[in-house]
Amino acid sequence: MLANTFVDNAKVMAKGQITIPKDIREVLGVASGDRITFIVEGNTVRIVNSAVYAMQVLQKEMAGEAERAGLSSDDDVMALVKELRNEDENA
């Protein structure tokens, strides 16, 4: 097993609810009121922090977009932002 891998368990209650063990909540970085996402792959389920997962999906979707838009440096990005702001002011 990997060094950062561990096993924990929880009991499923009558209404299908479980309490996520504290050590798992800490690893996921979730607290009361936060959302989690269940990713089902065959007969395996991964539980992930929904905010982190959403950011990972967005980053994957946006990969390469800056290059396709011709933005290869911070200066290019700043120039585009200034251009868009000027368009908003003139509209």
Q: What is the pLDDT of residues 71-84, one digit of tens each?
A: 888 898 888 889 88
Per-residue tokens: 66:
């800056």
**Residue 29 is assigned to a structural domain of this protein:** yes
How many structural domains is the chain composed of? 1
C-alpha separations of 11 from 14, 20, 37 in Å = 10, 9, 19
Separation of alpha carbons 74 and 66, rounded Å: 11
Its pTM surpasses 0.95: no
Is 4 part of a structural domain of the chain? Answer: no
Q: Reduce the DSSP state of residue 13 to 3 states and report it.
A: coil
Of 77, 8, 11, the C-alpha closest to 47 is: 8
Q: How far apart are CA 59 and CA 10, in angstroms?
A: 32
Domain ranges, residue 29 = 12-89
* In a domain? residue 2: no
pLDDT tens profile 36-73: 999 999 999 999 999 999 999 998 888 888 888 888 88
